[in-house]
């Protein structure tokens, strides 16, 4: 079994900051890319940020310069530092990783989602 535990979401005023964490545990023994997605009310889920095992990053245009994705391979954890938050950042944020287990080989895994609400 694989678990992705997300934390750090909450309510914040516009201009504030939050830091999301996603910790992987269980039978996974190798992790490739890690990323954060979000889904706002009435909208499709979209990629926010992604980081490869080598540390290369990609960001949605809407968050460039404000959000930073990072990872701690020793802790099997991904982070999303969100600064200068805007009301349009309000969404459920989902952690995603591609990883390997002995039973299933290479597969995608998703966290349960954490709510981020930015008030004006």
Going residue by residue through the chain, which has 120 residues, state the pLDDT in tens, using 9 for 90 and above.
Answer: 889 999 999 999 999 999 999 999 988 888 999 999 999 999 999 999 999 999 999 999 999 999 999 999 999 999 999 999 999 999 999 999 999 888 888 999 999 999 999 999
Tokens 């910790």 belong to residue: 23
Q: How far is CA 92 from CA 28, 31, 39, 55, 102, in A?
A: 25, 23, 5, 25, 31
């Amino acid at each position: 079994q694989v678990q992705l535990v997300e934390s750090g979401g909450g309510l914040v005023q516009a201009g504030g900051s939050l830091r999301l964490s996603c910790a992987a545990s269980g039978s996974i023994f190798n992790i490739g890319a890690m990323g954060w997605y979000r889904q706002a009310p009435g909208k499709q889920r979209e990629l926010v940020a992604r980081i490869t095992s080598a540390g290369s990053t990609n960001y949605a245009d809407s968050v460039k310069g404000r959000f930073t994705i990072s990872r701690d391979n020793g802790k099997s954890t991904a982070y999303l530092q969100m600064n200068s938050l805007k009301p349009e950042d309000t969404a459920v944020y989902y952690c995603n990783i591609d990883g390997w287990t002995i039973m299933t080989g290479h597969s995608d895994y998703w966290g349960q989602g954490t709510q981020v609400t930015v008030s004006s």
